[in-house]
Structure formats: structure tokens, C-alpha cells
Amino acid sequence: MRLADATWPDIHPQTFGGAAPVLVLPLGALEQHGPHLPLDTDAVTATAVATAVAVARPRAALAPTLPIGASGEHTDFPGTLSIGTEALRQLIVEAVRSSTPTFSAVMVVNGHGGNVDALRSAAELCTAEGRILLSHHLGLPGMDAHAGRTETSLMLHLTPERVRLDHVEPGNTAPLRDLLAEMKAHGVRGVSPNGVLGDPTGASAAEGAELFARLRDRAIAAFDVLTG
């Protein structure tokens, strides 16, 4: 069920197979993704995976996507918006608190690595309050860091008309662990003038379809553990 399409009487255990519903909340970001991908790339991916969870599992209620997160490392690039870690943490906590009378748990499907600290802190507080918040980050072994082959392939699968193939170019291809100190001091622009961390030139829709299937299956498995 898409929560935004429902009326309040729809939100009832009978609608969700007789069990208490679980809120699935996609969380993205609005930040630069190189010269070839749209600013909402993380939100697109998180929304697609969260939607797949809601389609596959009748207990899931799909919330509208939170489109802005903690993206301070990208604010040197025009178009990036960020609410910061503390504000994001409080936003998630209040969303979980308000959902508790109706939903048995909240699963956040997170598409942006910069949101992880806020989600971790929010989960700790929610747990202390007796609430259930699962933060599920979209990641797979071997994925590159930002706007590279992985994200470009995913976007070619999910929304190919929005990928500017004539602007695809490599960025800094060094391992992310080697860039973190410089990024912390000077942001992503300090290590990659075009905003790309990786090489998107080999991306394909076919690879994106395979990556998406793995992300989808991993998220559904996490939902099953949460509700099992």
C-alpha cells in the first residue's frame, strides 16, 4: 500500500493481512551526482527499492520519500541541499514516534551514505524508548563510491531518460578509504572537481538491472527478519 493514497480507515490490520502494518520509509538526498546524473539519484534508488518491498510484502505501508538528507560534503556543488545530521536525526525520530500507535515498526530504506550517522543515532534513541526502527542502507560488496559505474548503471535501469550519457566521465577512482581525510577537510570537490568518485563509463542498464535485483532481494530479506 502507498500510504499517501490511503484514507485513514484504510490503515487497519485487515488491510495488511491481519497483522500490524510496518512503515517502509525511503530516504534519499538532493546532492550533486557528477555532470551526468540528476540531483535526486539517491532518492530514486531508495524509492524504487522501498516500493519493491511494499509490493512483495502485504504488511508494508510505503511512506512518501524523504528527499533531502545530510549532504554537507557535497554543498560546494550548486544544487545540493542538506539539512545536516542533527536535523535529520530528529526528523527520523519524530516520524517514528508519530507512527508508533499505528505501525509496529519502521524500516528506513536509505540511499545515501551521509545519512548513516543520523540513522544510527535515531535508532539508538528509538530503541531506548521501546520503539522499533530498522535502518537499511542500500549497499553491496564491490559498489563504487559516488556517481560511478554502480549508480549510473542503476539509473540507466530505473530512469534511463534522465542519464546524460554525453556528459559521462571518470572522476577520482582511488579507494574511498584513501579519500576520506581529504573529503572531511575539503568536501567531495576537494578530491574530485567533477563530483564523481569512480568511473561511470562502463555502466549499462543490464548491469543496473542485476544490481537492483540484488538490492531489492536484500531489502526484502531485511523486512522479513524485522517482521519474522
Angle at CA of residue 171, ends 167 and 177, nearest 5°:
150
Helix 205-227 × helix 149-158 angle, to 10°: 90
pLDDT band at 18 (very low <50, low <70, confident <90, very high): confident
Domain assignment present for residue 10? The answer is no
Domain assignment present for residue 2? The answer is no
Q: Is the predicted pLDDT of residue 142 greater than 90, yes or no?
A: no
Widest pairwise Cα distance in the chain: 53
Name the phi and psi angles at 8, rounded to 5: -65, -35
Domain assignment present for residue 119? The answer is yes
DSSP-assigned states of every residue in 184-228: HHHTGGGT-TTS-BS-GGG--HHHHHHHHHHHHHHHHHHHHHHH-
Dump pLDDT digits (tens) for 71-90. 999 999 999 999 999 999 99
Domain assignment present for residue 11? The answer is no
Domain that holds residue 87: 18-222
Domain assignment present for residue 183? The answer is yes
Domain assignment present for residue 12? The answer is no
Average pLDDT on 59-69 reads 98
Domain assignment present for residue 228? The answer is no
Number of domains the chain contains: 1
Domain assignment present for residue 207? The answer is yes
pLDDT for 13: 87
pLDDT for 49: 99
Round the average pLDDT of the chain to a whole number and report it. 97
Give the CATH number of the domain where residue 95 resides: 3.40.50.10310
